[in-house]
Amino acid sequence: MSSFLEFLQSNKHKTFRPKKKFSPGTMRYNLHKQAVATLHSGVDLKAAVRMPANENLDDWIAVHTVDFFNRINLMYGTIADACTPATCPTMSGGLKYEYLWQDGTAYKKPTRLPAQEYITKLMDWIETRINDENLFPTSMDVPFPSDFRQTCKKILTRLFRVFVHIYIHHFDRIVQLSAEAHANTLYKHFYFFVTEYNLVSTKELEALKDMTNKLLACQGPGKPR
């Protein structure tokens, strides 16, 4: 796992968006550090997503949602040069899955976009929300809004679609970078987290069901057998 975190760190210049950070000294910063330390320890990923005793679930979900945004952002940055309107004219996952963009403001109806544009808008959309103090308060004295978990479900569902596109259309690029073990580790961590807390629907996860089953059957985070 440490090599995975080191890989992301070494490629941080390729990040698609500035990294969201927690303020040092805050409870959520400490929770973030605790989660990262658990990953560094090499603990089983399924165990790593379980919330520590006496912690607040909304805090745990907030920390992981931001961390997954940062890391998936970095992963996409490593292959972004291969994801162009010419190579990826739609935001798709093979022939069966296509994702249309809708944000309720500029795009009131589901709209077909090139993958690069879709992901750009997606990252902008997420960044706006995780930087919104009303949605992701940084002070422990400010409660999370009533729709906080629903917001996180939507964020994580859309981040899952980035995995779908990368795995189906750009995994050869990941392999060229010798980063498949890192990508698989990130995906497994994400998958265990969202299924542990029911944050991405089973229907949505169907897009990578076969690959997920192979990954979970493997020993370790490497390439599926």
| The pLDDT value given to residue 224 | 42
Is 88 assigned a ligand-binding role in the annotation? yes
Is 218 assigned a ligand-binding role in the annotation? no
| The pLDDT value given to residue 197 | 97
The Cα–Cα gap between 203 and 103 comes to 21
Is 189 assigned a ligand-binding role in the annotation? no
pTM here?
A: 0.81
Bridge partner list, 93 = 97
Alpha carbon 139 to its chain centroid, in Å, reads: 24
For each successive 10 residues of the chain (225 residues), what is the average pLDDT?
A: 46 44 48 46 74 86 90 90 96 94 94 97 93 85 92 97 96 88 89 97 96 80 41
Is 64 assigned a ligand-binding role in the annotation? no
| The pLDDT value given to residue 209 | 94
